[in-house]
Every structure is written in structure tokens, then in C-alpha cells.
Structure 1
Amino acid sequence: MNLLIIGAGGHGQYCMSIAERMNIFDKISFLDDDERYELSDIVVGKIEDLEHLVNEYDSVFVAIGNNEVRKKLYDKARLLGYKLPILIDPHASVSKYCYIGEGSVIFPCAVLETNCHVSKGCIISSNTTINREAYISDYATIHSNSVIRKKVHIEKTH
């Protein structure tokens, strides 16, 4: 599998590290519109190039912190036929009985307990605990060191 990460900034670079530690991707590259990244070996184009790279990359991960922009880019990638992988750091503790939606990222030292639900496109930051039966809505960001108590429902965050 070849992974294309949209967003080469700090969040994107950390997502790349997680993807590398997962050891399932043959190739990982970035798309980014920021001119600072144009000369980078791993930035293969701008976001508008997404539709032209479908034959070379089968998977897209959107590493943009803005939840609305992340949703818009995932919708576009889905329409183009890309897979939207879940990135889970090997140092996270994730119950096999929880649900994680496509395009979400689980950072190191996060704990996801039994029967919790993390919807699509979510960011679950380091040292976060999602207790049993908690529900995280689509494209929400849960910041570092948060504890989401059992049966709590988190709506989309901004």
C-alpha cells in the first residue's frame, strides 16, 4: 500500500511517524500547498494534485487540524476512490472491542477502552483515555491528556 498524507506540517509529520511504525505502507509521501515544503523529497505536489495520483497511491490520510477542512478533503478523497486508513500508533492501548472510523488517528499512549466509539476522521491525541461506551462524533479532535468518561458523547469540536 502507498500512503499519501495531505498536510506536511507538524501534525502531518507525526502522522507519518505513526504510519511508519505501523509497518504496513510501502511508500509514504505528502501533498501540501505551503511553499516551504516544495523542495522536500517526500512532498510530491499540492493538494490540487490529489486526483492525478490515484494510480500511484491507493490510500490517503488527511493530516489537517481544522475539522471542517479535514472533512472536505476526506470527502474528495473518498469520491476519487482512495482508501482512508486508520492510523494507530503501536504504543496506544486499543481494545479490540472498540470502534474506530476510517481516517482517524490514534496517537501514542492513548487508551481506548471496551465498546468506545471513535467516529471517522477523528484525532485522538497522546495520553488521552476514552472510557468504555464513550462516543466521539465525526471529525472531532480530542487533545492530549484528556479523559473522556464512560458513556459521554462528544460532538464535533472546532
Structure 2
Amino acid sequence: MGSIQEFVQTYSPQSEARIVFAWNGKHAAEFADENMVFRQSVCDYFEANKEAIPLPLIAALYNAETLFAKEAWGVNSVVSELAQELLERGGINYIDAYIAGAARGMDAYMESGNIRLSQARCRELLAHCQTCVENGSGSDKNRWGMFVARFSHLLQVSQAQRTP
């Protein structure tokens, strides 16, 4: 089976089966996710060693944890750290994965917004979302508009923190 460190170091898309949200389809006391314990161990390792975690693994963890949030009716706080690392390191290459996770209910939406990004990254993501609003229509336009608001706010916060 191997250690968590070994899993992280050798991670590939084929390894994802060990961390995906593997839900039994039930809620409340009967709720079960057969990968939850191992995935939580990988998330704990991530929290202590962010720089050692490859972006595809961060994306897979974020995906699994936001799916978990939707069905478990609650969210693990690691979602914000995963979201932050995903966007700061991955930028617009990972914006679709970020938005898909954030759209998995209010808990995931709120926790995925509890992030801090560099001004440069905020500007990049904001410009991308604004372009998507301009080119979108209907609900797609509204969805991108929510993230224009989010990245505008994050940019303002980032700028305020730099101002003496």
C-alpha cells in the first residue's frame, strides 16, 4: 500500500482512485465514503508540505473534497487551502476545476472563497472571468459574474494589505 509520502511522490491520474469521493449514496448516520480516511491523511500531508504536492493531486483533492461537501452537508476546512494553492500555482489553467468545486453547494462556495492570492494572480483571474462574462450568455454569464465579484474583492483585500 505504501506511505502517504510515497503516494504523493508517485501520484498519477491512475492513483486518483484512492482519493476520489467514493460515496455510498446515503446520508446522515448511514453516510460513508470509503476513501475518506486515506484522503484525509493525504490532505493532512498537503497542509504540512504544500510545496511538495503536484498540482494535479491538489486538483483531485479539491474535487473530491468539494464533492464530499455537497453530499456530507458540511465542508472540511482544507478546501480553502486546496483552492488557494490550486489558483495561486495553477492560475487560469485550473479556474474551471476551481469553479466546478465552488459550485457544489453553499458550503463549498463559501470555503473556496476563504483564500488569499497575490495581486498578479487576482488580476489574471479577474480578467479571465470578465472576458467570460463578456462572451457568455444567460446563466453562464451570471456564473462568471459571481467570480468577477469574488476576484475583485480578493484584489481589493490584497491591495489593502499592502498599503501602509
Greater strand content: 1
Per the normalisation by structure 1, the TM-score is: 0.29
Per the normalisation by structure 2, the TM-score is: 0.28
